[in-house]
Amino acid sequence: MSALKVIQVPAAFNTAGLNIVWILVGLIAIYAGIKNLLDEENPSRIGTAIFWCSFGIVTALGTWLPAKVSGVLVIIMCLPPIFKKVKVGKTNAPEKVHTEAQFKKIGMKIFVPAFCVAVFSLAFSLFSNMSSMIAITLGVLVAIIFLVAYDSKENKPQVFLKDSERFLSLTG
C-alpha cells in the first residue's frame, strides 16, 4: 500500500499544517463563544460562551499550553453542559426563498464544493502521507474558491465565518 503514496510530505509539514488547522478550528470556536455572549436572545449566553471559548482556547493553543492549564480549561468547558447552560442562540439561517433562488442560479453545481472536500480527503489519504485533517482543510479551501466563483457578491469571507459558527453551534 505504501507504493501508492506518491506524494510524500515531510513530517514537519504535517506538524505545522495540523497546528494551523487546529488554530483555525479554535478561532472559529472562540468566535462562536463571543457571538453567543453578545446574543441577547440566547437564554444561556454566558454558559454557551464559556463552553465555546474554553473549547476554542484548548483547541487553538493546546500544543503550547501547560497540561494543567489545558486540564483546568477542559473542566471549565464541561461545567456549562453539565448544568444545561449551553444553548443555540440566534442562527440567522438563510430563508427558503433565498435558498431556492440560489439553487435556480447555481443548480446541481452546488454539490461540487462538498464533492471537493470528499475527493481531497480520499485522494490525499490514499496517495500521500499527508494528515487527513490537512487534506480535508485543503478540500474546504478549494470548496470556498468554487463558492466564491459561483457568486462573488454573495459569498464573502464573513458568510463562511457565520455559517461555520452556525453549523458549529447547531452541532455543539
List, for residues 50-99, the tens digit of each pLDDT value: 999 999 999 999 999 999 999 999 999 999 999 999 998 877 777 889 88
Contacts of 136 (CB under 8 A, 6+ apart): 117, 120, 121
Distance, CA of 50 to CA of 37 (rounded, Å): 9
Is residue 108 pLDDT above 60, yes or no? Answer: yes
pLDDT confidence of 2, banded at 50, 70, 90?
A: low
Per-domain residue ranges of the chain = 2-171
Is residue 101 pLDDT above 90, yes or no? Answer: no
Distance of CA 112 to the CA centre of its chain: 19
Q: Note the pLDDT of residue 1.
A: 53
Neighbours of 50 (CB within 10 A): 20
DSSP-assigned states of every residue in the chain: -GGG--B---HHHHHHHHHHHHHHHHHHHHHHHHHHHH-TT-TTHHHHHHHHHHHHHHHHHTTTS-HHHHHHHHHHHHHHHHTT--------PPPHHHHHHHHHHHGGGGHHHHHHHHHHHHHHHHHB-S-HHHHHHHHHHHHHHHHHHH-TTT--HHHHHHHHHHHHHHH-
Is residue 5 pLDDT above 90, yes or no? Answer: no
Tell me the mean pLDDT in the region 110-132: 90
Q: Note the pLDDT of residue 145.
A: 92
Round the average pLDDT of the chain to a whole number and report it: 90
Instruction: Give 26-46 pLDDT, tens digit per residue.
Output: 999 999 999 999 999 999 999
Is residue 136 pLDDT above 90, yes or no? Answer: yes
What global pTM score does this model have?
0.85
